Amino acid sequence: MIFPGNIFKKIDFDFHPVWVLVAINVAVFLFIQLLVGDTLKNYTNDVYLEKTSKMRELYLQTLDPLEKTQSTEISATSIIRDSKFWYRAENFPFKGDQVKIADSKQFLKELKESYLKSPQFLFGLSPSPTSIWAWITYQFLHTSFFHLLMNMLFLYLIVGVMQTKIDQDWIYAIYVLSGLGGGYAYLWMNPMNEIAVVGASGAICGLMGFMSIAFHSQNMEWSYFLSPVKGYYGIINLPVFLLFPMYLISDFTTVLYYNTGVQSSVAHSAHIGGTLVGCCLGALYLVDQRAKKNILAKWGHHLSHEEFVSLRDKIK
Amino acid sequence: MIIPELNSVSYQSTKQLYKPTVLSRLLAFVIDYFIFAPVISFSILMFFRSGFDLYKTFPQSEESQVIFFYLFFGFLILSTFLQAIFITLWGATPGQYALKLRIEFANKDTPLFFQAWFRQLGFACSFLAFGLPLFKTFIDEHGRCFYDKMTDARVVSVVPNEQRHSLQQKHYEQDRKFWLTSMTTLSLFFVVLFAIVFWRGYQNILTSPLAYKKMLNRSKKACQDFADLESTDRLRYKIAMNLVGTVSDECLNQEADFVLWRNFTQDQSLAYFAKFIAASDNSSLDIEYLKESCKTDQGSEGCYWSQVFINRTFNQIDENPEYARSVLGQIISYEMNTDLDQQAKSKIIKNLYAQNKSKSIQKFVILESLSRQASQSRRPASESQSVDETENIKEMIKDL
């Protein structure tokens, strides 16, 4: 395995952007888990599998001939996410096992009611968001501990590298703007996907996209793990631009394969949106740096000493 | 352990080349894999999009198997091709380049690109033999595998190992010995593990009822009974034979689902009755199915049998001759009607045999005849001499 950043370094608890971002994410997770509660946690896999066993039959009946030709991949998960089906199913005259149909409709109704009360809908980003703040709140919300853990690990590693290279204002701006880009891409590619997207992964992909453009020619520390034997795990210096082929291109591949950009529970479309915004910001950062250098070279002698030093310190 | 920033290492740039450590080569391979795998997957998906669509739509089809075969070779060719380009331009793959390793080719006559491609193809083919040829790296004096010898090439390091691993030099002096020991132990472990898993799996296939059930379901043999009958009759026969234990619940359930979800005929009440019969003990829906069978048509056959089961009026089945004469009626009557005497039961058995040429029914009739005889004296049919029915049974066996 190879991770970007130094996973083995001694943890430094100083007030850095990395801890600010991690703290916000963890605090939101704890707030949701302890105070709000998740209304969807009762839907275990067993319940879900039993109740959705004939959902595909129902879904196919609601499709018109054109929609049928376009639907190549129909799984219970994708059906549950389709808001169009939710509305159609309420009054559709389904043919078939009426007992099972009534049971499935009841399940859908209960699931919808639970979902509308869940933190995922209240604070997540969906085609019908509860407020404009959902565009921000979704970036800090995680539905499970593992989801939070993986995102925070990558956030810690990437921001840990970035904070040595750029100002913290840039880091916060990239995080939020990439998150917005990720949310936009998710909504654009999944207009009928009623399930809200949550998580920091779009923003983290944005941070990686930014790095791979802004510092493409530099080397950074990568953590490698080949074996638990001493000497076969450690740190290696490799080019920053490798972030793109190693971590970001796989999202594009997945979106090519799954048109919706959503595979199982991972919103790859949001990753792509975040990556593209991050890359654009990386290009902007390069332009900004070059402009500052030019100004300093051409007009530096007209600046006061303080202005000169201030501008010079902003060039990395 | 920290591998220093090799680009900033101040080593004397000489033409001297060194034998690389196994760790460097392994790490270079891992880096290459992490770079090439996503890029090539993306490229292949771009080029063979329609093939993937076909695979997604019909994953079990023969075409999909061919497509899978093509994609495998596409991946192999493209990955080795890209690596060969890098070797031609940089003298190394990206991972090797980052770790200051180079591939030296002795043959200067043949174009470098083709030598490099040939070598990389050999390297890729090593994995078809579970990577075993790669073990030669540990044994060979110059760390050369068969693909290196094929192309007269060798991997070299342009950085002395002292500088590369100055922090743990002592450890790497024992590099070869360490790897040999580790890999031998690991290999033995995996061989034993594989043998155990293989043997357990084989035994499971032979003995497990679950495996047998899966096999039957996969080949759809479980539900091939009465396949030549019309839908309504097929459902009746399957309910009847399920009641006597010849047709499985899964099979009956499948048939009922077919009627309810696909056929949309008038047999729906009977199908709901079938769903009730086939429902598992812990299903919360079985009573719902019983109710549903009478919801649309009170006079339907399914509703009639549901009422018979609810009210336990098995001794009144004959009052409705239309249903009583059907196979289902006769079987229910035979199995459930406690008022029937032995003579009446024999009559039903004879009727069933006379009216039906289905093998399942014939087998049932034979078994029932034998068991009724066996209750008097435990003898096989072929040896019976005195009972009048024995001749009939022999004839039935002959027909079957």
pLDDT digits (tens, 9 = 90+) for B96-125: 888 888 888 888 777 888 888 988 888 888
Q: Which of A54, A94, A105, A237 best probes binding to B when mutated, by most B CB atoms within 10 angstroms?
A: A237
| Among B30, B61, B80, CA closest to A232 | B30
CA of A46 vs chain B CAs: smallest distance (Å): 14
Residue predicted with more confidence, A191 or B305: B305
Residue type, B69: F
- The predicted model gives B290-308 an average pLDDT of 83
Percent with pLDDT over 90 in chain A: 26
pLDDT at A287 over 70: yes
Give the pLDDT score at A154: 92
Q: Which of B260, B276, B306 best probes binding to A when mutated, by most A CB atoms within 10 angstroms?
A: B260
Residue predicted with more confidence, B97 or A315: B97
**Does B264 contact A at CB distance below 8 Å?**
yes
pLDDT at B385 over 80: no
Contacts of B177 in chain A (CB under 8 A): none
pLDDT at B286 over 80: no
Q: Is ipTM strictly over 0.90? A: no
pLDDT at B167 over 50: no
**Which residue among A97, A224, A242 sits closest to B261, beta carbon to beta carbon?**
A97
Beta-carbon separation of A226 and B7 below 8 A:
no
Beta-carbon separation of B289 and A257 below 8 A:
no
Q: What angle do CA A201, A204, A207 make, to 5 degrees?
A: 155
Beta-carbon separation of A234 and B3 below 8 A:
yes
Give the pLDDT score at B283: 65
pLDDT at B170 over 60: no
Residue predicted with more confidence, A66 or B127: B127
- Residue B270: closest CA among chain A residues belongs to which residue? A97
**Does A263 contact B at CB distance below 8 Å?**
no
Contacts of A250 in chain B (CB under 8 A): 38, 41-42
Return residues 17-36 of B near A (CB < 8 Å).
23, 26-27, 30-31, 34-35
- Residue A94: closest CA among chain B residues belongs to which residue? B261
Contacts of A73 in chain B (CB under 8 A): 56
Assign B281 a pLDDT band (cuts: 50, 70, 90).
low
**Which residue among B26, B41, B275 sits closest to A226, beta carbon to beta carbon?**
B26
Return residues 103-122 of A near B (CB < 8 Å).
103
- Domain extents for chain A? 2-37+131-302, 39-117
Q: What is the 3-state secondary structure (H, E, C) of chain A?
A: CEEECCCCCCCCCCCCHHHHHHHHHHHHHHHHHHHHCCCCCCCCHHHHHHHCCCHHHHHHHHCCHHHHHHCCCCCHHHHHHEHHHHHHHHHCCCCCCHHHHHHHHHHHHHHHHHHHHCHHHHHCECCCCCCCCHHHHHHHCCCCHHHHHHHHHHHHHHHHHHCCCCCHHHHHHHHHHHHHHHHHHHHHHCCCECCCECCCHHHHHHHHHHHHHHCCCCEEEEEEECCCCCCCEEEEEEEHHHHHHHHHHHHHHHHHHCCCCEECCEEHHHHHHHHHHHHHHHHHHHHHHHHHHHHHHHHHHHCCHHHHHHHHHCCC
Contacts of A257 in chain B (CB under 8 A): 45, 52, 56
| Among B201, B207, B205, B262, CA closest to B231 | B262
Phi then psi for residue B387, to 5 deg, are -75, 140
B18: which strand partners? Answer: B157
**Does A249 contact B at CB distance below 8 Å?**
yes
Beta-carbon separation of B257 and A256 below 8 A:
no
CA of A181 vs chain B CAs: smallest distance (Å): 22
> pLDDT tens-digit profile of B180-189?
677 778 888 8
> pLDDT tens-digit profile of A170-190?
999 999 999 999 999 998 888
Q: Which of B8, B21, B31, B296 best probes binding to A when mutated, by most A CB atoms within 10 angstroms?
A: B31
DSSP-derived letter for residue B21 is: P
CA of A94 vs chain B CAs: smallest distance (Å): 10
Q: Residue B3 in 3-state DSSP?
A: coil
Beta-carbon separation of B42 and A253 below 8 A:
yes
Q: What is the pTM of this model?
A: 0.67
- The predicted model gives A153-161 an average pLDDT of 91
Give the pLDDT score at A258: 73
Which helix (H) or strand (E) covers residue B155, if one does? strand B153-157
Phi then psi for residue B154, to 5 deg, are -155, 150
**Which residue among B34, B56, B98 sits closest to A246, beta carbon to beta carbon?**
B34
pLDDT at B386 over 50: no
- Residue B292: closest CA among chain A residues belongs to which residue? A99
- Residue A256: closest CA among chain B residues belongs to which residue? B45
Which helix (H) or strand (E) covers residue B153, if one does? strand B153-157
- The predicted model gives A279-301 an average pLDDT of 88
Beta-carbon separation of A257 and B45 below 8 A:
yes
pLDDT at A155 over 90: yes
**Does A246 contact B at CB distance below 8 Å?**
yes
In sequence order, the 6+-apart residues with CB closer than 8 A to the CB of B47 are B74
DSSP conformation letters of B62-112: HHHHHHHHHHHHHHHHHHHHHHHHHHHHHSS-HHHHHTTEEEEES--SS-H
Give the pLDDT score at B11: 45
**Does A242 contact B at CB distance below 8 Å?**
yes
- The predicted model gives A29-42 an average pLDDT of 79
**Which residue among B98, B288, B292 sits closest to A238, beta carbon to beta carbon?**
B98
CB A95 within 8 A of CB B264: yes
CA of A222 vs chain B CAs: smallest distance (Å): 10
- The predicted model gives B133-139 an average pLDDT of 78
Q: Which of A53, A74, A95, A99 best probes binding to B when mutated, by most B CB atoms within 10 angstroms?
A: A99
pLDDT at A241 over 60: yes
Give the pLDDT score at A153: 92
Beta-carbon separation of A98 and B295 below 8 A:
yes
Beta-carbon separation of B41 and A224 below 8 A:
no
> pLDDT tens-digit profile of B67-86?
888 888 888 888 899 999 99
pLDDT at A69 over 50: yes
- The predicted model gives A75-86 an average pLDDT of 77
In sequence order, the 6+-apart residues with CB closer than 8 A to the CB of B378 are none
User: How many whole angstroms from its chain centre is CA A206?
Assistant: 9
In chain B, how long is the greatest CA-to-CA distance? 109
Cα–Cα separations (whole angstroms), residue A265 to A195, A273, B172, B340, B349:
10, 17, 44, 61, 58
Q: What angle do CA B234, B240, B246 make, to 5 degrees?
A: 95
Beta-carbon separation of A249 and B42 below 8 A:
yes
Give the pLDDT score at B384: 47
Give the pLDDT score at B269: 86
**Does B288 contact A at CB distance below 8 Å?**
yes
Give the pLDDT score at B185: 80
Residue predicted with more confidence, A248 or B232: A248
- The predicted model gives A154-181 an average pLDDT of 91
Give the pLDDT score at B219: 52
Look-up: residue for tokens 């039957």? B216
Give the pLDDT score at B394: 62
- The predicted model gives A212-229 an average pLDDT of 84
- The predicted model gives A290-297 an average pLDDT of 86
> pLDDT tens-digit profile of A58-67?
888 888 777 7
pLDDT at A104 over 70: yes
How confident is the prediction for chain B on average, in pLDDT? 76
Buried b (16+ CB within 10 A) or exposed e, B380-398: ebeebeebebbebbeebee
Give the pLDDT score at B387: 47
Min mean pLDDT across A71-85, A183-197, B27-41 is at A71-85
Indicate the angle between helix axes B268-278 and B301-311, nearest 10 degrees. 40
Contacts of B96 in chain A (CB under 8 A): none
**Does A57 contact B at CB distance below 8 Å?**
yes
Q: Does domain A2-37+131-302 have CATH number 1.20.1540.10?
A: yes
CA atoms within 13 A on the CB side of B337: 22
